[in-house]
Structure 1
């Protein structure tokens, strides 16, 4: 299997990464996992928190989860 295919398969996984993703990777994860719920998809949840920590996403304070 070539590296490009391996990278695509890894990006589609739902488990959390062993380290915090970079901002660029977090954006990419959010695009790939846009249909996933954060309580199901550890990778999207991790990417969301990384983007919040970097100030790239500001949660709506009037909404509750």
Structure 2
């Protein structure tokens, strides 16, 4: 799997627009995309809560696996 940083992702997304990199519009859209990517990464990295009390019990027959 290829890893990418935010700058390369933003450059890839903006390439078809042929924006002048020194223009105010390019700086603003870069800033907004960077913020969106940071927010997405922060949300995706959050741990997921699992309520094990609502899960049915699983009984393993230890004798069938050789554990007695």
TM above 0.5: no
Q: TM-score, normalised by structure 2?
A: 0.24
Higher helix residue share: 2
Larger RCO (CA within 8 A; separation ≥ 6): 1
The structure with the largest alpha-carbon Rg is 2
